[in-house]
A and B are shown apart, each in its own frame.
Chain A
Amino acid sequence: MRLAALLACGGALALAACSATTGTGSDAESASASDPSVGADGRAPFASTYRRYPGVPTALVGATVFDGAGGRIDNGIVLFADGEVVGIGDASLAIPAGYTQIDGSGKFVTPGIIDIHSHLGDYPSPSVPAHSDGNEATSPTTPDVWAEHSVWPQDPGFSRALANGGVTSLQILPGSANLVGGRSVTLKNVYSRTVQGMKFPGAPYGMKMACGENPKRVYGGRGRMPSTRMGNFAVNRQTWLDAKAYDGKKRDLAKETLKGVLDGEILVHNHCYRADEMALVMDMAKEMGYRVSAFHHAVEAYKIGDLLRDNDVCSAIWADWYGFKMESYDGIPENAAFLQREGACVVIHSDSDREIQRLNQEAAKAQAAGRRLGIDISDATVIGWITLNPAKAMGVDAMTGSLEAGKMADVVLWNGNPLSVYSRPEKVWVDGALLYDAIDRKRRPVSDFELGQPGEGDVK
């Protein structure tokens, strides 16, 4: 029961014991050529040290396979080995020698689920002030802060997202107090002692921006700019103009991030609810020479599906949240279906340590709302809303998000159709390593925080 938490939410910022082996990521992740922020050791700062855990060559046989890219194979076969998908196909696909076969009859296989909008680690459990590390709410623009420096890798939330949601990758974003909140970080959902050990190798950075009510309220409440939506835009545009003038001679962390966006190397994730405001942001992006990768919380995206499609911007949305703040008043459950109808990119996101455990169910609700209007979107397409589409918007679709030979073996075996309320992940592999197994108690991570506590290791 979260009576107190719910009350606060109304006004708030709505807001294995395996040895490591050599992974798919390069040993010392190389910094991009135009990035001036190469450390004295020649590496990008805080480079990923993620290594995939060992797995065995595995053949999932007989399940219904949704490949994440819109494809469906009944009685399919999925093969993976050495951390990568080897191939998928129908029952005629040859299974190489040495593969462990898992009977998937009556079950379903999808790519690992991806949450494009999470604050796990930055707003971890327990939710106490000492853990409130998601908003550097001290200046309207803080492009210099990096979400990864706030991530507590022991957040118990990571395990729930894995076990109940089949989440294998997630983007941790700064909160929405600021017009520019800072850099995001993309993680593999694998516990590590360090955040570097969770960082998705080769994932581009994102930059969080926020429209609308939050920045103007936070800073207007302190008697400083911005206090209005027009103030929001004025500060944003000047910030971009200053960044464009940056010559890089004297290092400036804020400008390095903004420059990364202008150079197309850092992807913009813009918290923005209202249709009219999204249209203004897309125009500002054109004026300043960047592009928005995705609007997050875009509850009114359905009003401008055509515009979003034409600008190639994804809408990361909830299935049915609405009404908690003025800019969410026009939220409708048909949002995703209307966007899909227009040919625009749909992503279902969570922004919640609870809903991240049920992105499959949220997607199913959004699908059902469309179906009742005669907009029939296939299960295979809907799975893409929580796999390949978020991967695209996060810039990791060449590596994960769908079951294709050569991609990371991020795979979920569900005990029924994942779009049914009665289904749960049975097994989850990350880079081919079995990291959750519903029927093996030891294949369930327990964070440091939970050791010795009531309910330790329980089925949560």
Chain B
Amino acid sequence: MKRFLSLAVSAIALAASPAAAQDVAITNATVATGDGSDPIEGATVVVRGGRVVAAGSGVGAPAGMPVIDGSGMWVTPGMFSPLTTLGLWDVGAVQSSNDQSASDSPFSAALDVATALNPSSQHVAVNRAGGVTRASILSFPSSSIFGGQGAIVDLGADADMLVRRRAFQYVAMGEQGARIAGGSRTASHALLRNALREARQYGRDAQIPGGSAAPERNPTGDDIGVDPRLIDSRSERGNDVLLTRFDAAALVPVVRGEQPLYVGVERASDIRQVLALKREFPRIDLVLVGASEGWLAANEIAAAGVPVITDPVGNLPEAFEELAATQSNVGRMVRAGVKVAIGGLTNGIEKPLNATQYAGNLVALGKIPGAAGLSWGQAFATITSAPAEISGYGGRFGVLAPGAAGDLVIWDGDPLELSSAPTRVFIDGVEQPLDNHQTRLRDRYRDLDESDLPKAYDW
């Protein structure tokens, strides 16, 4: 009972007052900064006021700052997991607990995942304990090719996981988009173009100089203000529109290039069709998602300056649009100059925290003749700085550099190796709890002793 009380008190304390960032220096560790460089041995990382002050081999611990001896440890930025559904579900197959998609909704592009986020989800806690500190969250397209507006989050153990809402729009093309749009790629392309044109027109209508239809912008504190038509609906529209006002408004920042459009696409020919969209909508800010056959169009992707978020171990022709899938996809795209992040490891089976394993596999591939792998530093960047940069947070997340967020993970060994695990995790300089439903079950079943009381009393 005493133990129960102390736990309850600490839980209340945590909820009432978010822990303050602590200034700390970690010395004599192997430091991987996440920027693509190789790990540095005997290095120091200094965090002050929730931000990284310095990281490297020539860095000393400031006088008076608490010091953690990192001997034998690795220190890295926290992982940035792009395109997860953390906080949107509890059990995949339990529909009532699952906000990953809205198959019966009349809305699509307007859907905003920020409204569904639950920082208390066990999957947030499990992945935090695995070294994931930041993520982007998407909602899956189902009733429409548009999934809705994704968010950038942190995995801190506090009430607010949102870093930036409406950070990107997601659209499914390829086989999935074709199926949703009416049965053919032709349908998904017509639908996409129509939607972007409606949004473009809708955006112009809102900007009639001096017109009463252009109410004052209403900033909400994030980078993209709430569109006025969500407040005032006086703008007239044509009578042949397909999009709801909400959905059209949500796509205005996409056609303006203010909000990236993430496009789910696999086949090389589909990738080329997506890149061609830039000719019609020059301001559009594209990110390719999936891109199993990206290596076949790597030079074109690189020339277009479009980054890629991909699952690195898909090497089977699981669909006809993935006939050329290979584990060398990432290595070949990186060689061609494409910025690539590992992502889309979304559900309970493929946990985002396993991105370390997948990055390690890309290093291993380098030893196979004919395959294209990555160096250790390059591989680590695909799960730290590259996804942060693609998400609009270059230099701020996913990297240990002066001014970056104090998102640190201390590991008991090489973070890409299967035997290693985080021992301490910091987000914005705040040390995080690493316990969760799984660790509690682990502790309960350390033995099977029920000689005094049933297991239900062991907590």
Q: Known contacts being A333-B438, A458-B326, is A6 close to B347, with CB within 8 Å?
A: yes
Which residues of chain A from 166 to 193 have any CB-CB distance to chain B below 8 Å in the complex? none
Q: Which residues of A contact B (CB under 8 A)?
A: 1-7, 9-11, 14, 125-128, 156-157, 160, 164, 213, 302-306, 320-326, 328-334, 338, 342, 353-354, 357-358, 361, 364-365, 367-368, 371-373, 415, 419-424, 438-439, 441, 449-450, 453-455, 458-460
Closest Cβ neighbor of A439 among chain B residues = B369
Indicate which residue in A160, A306, A325, A331 contacts B448 across the interface (CB closer than 8 Å).
A306
CB <8 Å contact, A11 and B416 = no
Is B56 an interface residue when CB atoms closer than 8 A count as contact? Answer: no
A10 with B100: in contact, given A1-B289, A321-B349 (CB under 8 Å)?
Answer: yes
Which of B36-44, B201-209, B242-250, B306-314 is the interface stretch?
B306-314
Could you give, for residues 136-167 of chain B, a 1 whenever the CB lies within 8 Å of some chain A CB and a 0 otherwise? 00001010000000000000000000000000
B316 and A368 within 8 A (CB)? no
- Once the chains bind, are A2 and B100 in contact (CB under 8 Å)? no
Q: Mind listing 9 A-B residue pairs with CB under 8 Å? A: A5-B318, A6-B350, A10-B93, A10-B100, A164-B315, A325-B91, A329-B437, A453-B323, A459-B328
Interface residue B188 (Cβ < 8 Å from any Cβ of A): no
Option from A3, A125, A321, A460 in Cβ contact (under 8 Å) with B318: A125
Shortest beta-carbon distance from A159 to chain B in Å: 9
Q: Cβ of A157 and Cβ of B91 under 8 Å apart?
A: no
The residue of chain A having its C-beta at the shortest distance from the C-beta of B351 within the complex is: A320
Q: Total number of A-B contacts with CB less than 8 angstroms?
A: 198
A330 CA / B442 CA spacing, docked (Å): 10
- When chains A and B are docked, how far (Å) is the Cα of A73 from the Cα of B130? 34
Residues of B within 8 Å of A325, CB to CB, are 91-94
On whether the beta carbons of A421 and B361 are closer than 8 Å, the reply is yes
Contact of A373 among B93, B349, B367, B442 (CB under 8 A): B442
Cα-based distance from A330 to B367 in the complex (angstroms): 38
Q: Across the interface, do A450 and B369 meet the contact criterion of CB distance under 8 Å?
A: no
Q: Note all chain A residues with C-beta closer than 8 A to B140.
A: 3-4, 7
Given contacts A326-B93, A424-B365, A459-B371, 5 further A-B contacts (CB under 8 A): A1-B266, A6-B350, A306-B448, A320-B351, A423-B364
Q: Contacts of A302 on B, CB cut-off 8 Å?
A: 445
Give chain B's interface residue range (CB within 8 Å of chain A).
Answer: 35 or more
Contact with A along B48-79 (1 / 0, CB 8 A): 00000000000000000000000000000000
Secondary structure call for the B interface: loop
Decide: A323 and B367 in contact? CB cutoff 8 A: no
Enumerate the 4 nearest inter-chain pairs by beta-carbon distance, A residue then B residue, closest first.
A1-B290, A323-B348, A421-B360, A10-B92
Q: A4 to B317, Cβ gap below 8 A?
A: no
A326 and B91 form a contact (CB under 8 A): yes
Contact of B290 among A3, A324, A329, A354 (CB under 8 A): A3
Q: Are A459 and B368 in contact (CB under 8 A)?
A: yes
B417 at the binding interface (Cβ < 8 Å): yes
Question: In the assembled complex, how far is the CB of residue A1 from the closest CB belonging to chain B, in whole angstroms?
Answer: 3
Q: Mark B81-124, 1 if CB is under 8 A from A, else 0.
A: 00000000011111100101100000000000000000000110
> With contacts A324-B92, A342-B448 known, is A1 near B316, CB below 8 A?
no
B441 interface residue (CB < 8 Å to A): yes
CB-CB under 8 A for A326 and B94, given A332-B441, A332-B442: yes
The chain B residue sitting closest to A10, CB to CB, is B92
Contacts of A323 in B (CB 8 A): 90-92, 122-123, 347-348
Which residues of B308-336 are within 8 A (CB) of A? 310-311, 313-320, 322-328
Q: Is the CB of B419 within 8 A of A364?
A: yes
Q: Determine the distance from Cα of A30 to Cα of B340 in the docked complex, in whole angstroms.
A: 56
The answer to whether A3 and B94 touch across the interface, beta carbons within 8 angstroms, is no
Query: B291 contacts the other chain (Cβ, under 8 Å)?
Result: yes
Query: Which residue of the partner chain A has the closest CB to B363?
Result: A422
Q: How far is the CA of A219 from the CA of B122 in the complex (A)?
A: 31
Q: Please indicate the chain B residues that have their CB under 8 angstroms from the CB of A3 in the complex.
A: 140, 172, 176, 264, 289-290, 344, 346
Query: Cα distance A329–B324 when bound, in Å?
Result: 35
Cβ-defined contact, A354 with B313, below 8 A: yes
Contact of A126 among B100, B292, B319, B363 (CB under 8 A): B319
B296 adjacent to chain A (CB < 8 Å): yes
Contacts of A11 in B (CB 8 A): 92-93, 95
Residue of B nearest to A423 (CB): B364
Which residues of chain A come closer than 8 Å to B441, judged between CB atoms? 330, 332
Q: Are A368 and B419 in contact (CB under 8 A)?
A: yes
**A322 in contact with B417 (CB, 8 Å):** no
Q: B198 within 8 Å of A by Cβ?
A: no
Interface contact B324-A454, CB-CB below 8 Å: yes
Give CA–CA (A9, B101) in the complex, Å.
13
Distance to closest chain A CB from B168 (angstroms): 14
The answer on a CB contact under 8 Å between A9 and B419 is: no
> For residue A127, which residue of chain B has the nearest CB?
B318
| Residue pair A365, B91 in contact (C-beta under 8 Å) | no
CB–CB A125/B317 < 8 A: yes
Q: Chain B contacts of A164 at CB under 8 A? A: 315, 327
A420-B417 in contact (CB<8A): yes
CA distance A306 to B451 in the complex (A): 14
- Write the B366-401 contact mask toward A (1 if CB under 8 angstroms, else 0): 011111000000000000000000000000000000
Any A CB within 8 A of the CB of B357: yes
